[in-house]
Amino acid sequence: MAMNMAGSAGGGGGRRGRRRAAVMAEINVTPMVDVMLVLLIIFMVAAPLMTSTIDIDLPVAGGGKQIAANAPPLTLSVKRTGGACNSNVELYLGDTLISANDLLPKIKAIRETRSEAESVVYLRGDKDVCYTDMMKLLGYIRTAGFKANIVIVPEQGS
């Protein structure tokens, strides 16, 4: 706190002549920030320790729609084998090589056997596959009644 040490206007040295300085009414935020940072660090360290390590055999609830898919996800992979666009691509449904003419009837048949929770096809495309080929396959997937997720591998740092 600061204090005003100026003398009184009368110049007298007695008690009467002294004025009291006004008290500064400011809030010092620095200690509050320090406390908050310490609490943040404590909670960041303590949160992972609060997980339970006790094995409990939870009951199984019945009824309703089954959310977890029992079948493996359907994956359609596209690999360019050469040539111009719309010409030489290999299609793999799962791990099986399939011709472009057989693709739509096959995925329609697969869609009829799957539940609503399993209605996603993962579309994986080679980096050299043309845009038109990928859009045609997306159209097939949508026509069959599936939703499409395009799988993209992130770039590796060079």
In the chain, what are the domains? 74-151 (3.30.420.270)
Please say if the pLDDT value at position 39 is more than 90.
yes
Neighbours of 9 (CB within 10 A): 8
pLDDT, tens only, 135-153: 888 888 888 888 888 776 6
Query: How many residues are present in the chain?
Result: 158
User: Looking at residue 96, what is its pLDDT?
Assistant: 86
Which string of DSSP letters, residue by residue, matches 76-112? EEEEEEESSTTTEEEEEETTEEE-HHHHHHHHHHHHH
Please say if the pLDDT value at position 44 is more than 80.
yes
Question: Phi and psi (nearest 5°) for 90?
Answer: -105, 135
Q: How confident is the model at residue 30 (pLDDT cuts 50, 70, 90)?
A: very high
User: Looking at residue 59, what is its pLDDT?
Assistant: 65
Neighbours of 76 (CB within 10 A): 23
3-state SS, residue 125: strand
Q: How confident is the model at residue 36 (pLDDT cuts 50, 70, 90)?
A: very high
Q: How confident is the model at residue 67 (pLDDT cuts 50, 70, 90)?
A: very low
What mean pLDDT comes out for the span 106-118?
Answer: 83
pLDDT, tens only, 10-19: 555 555 656 7
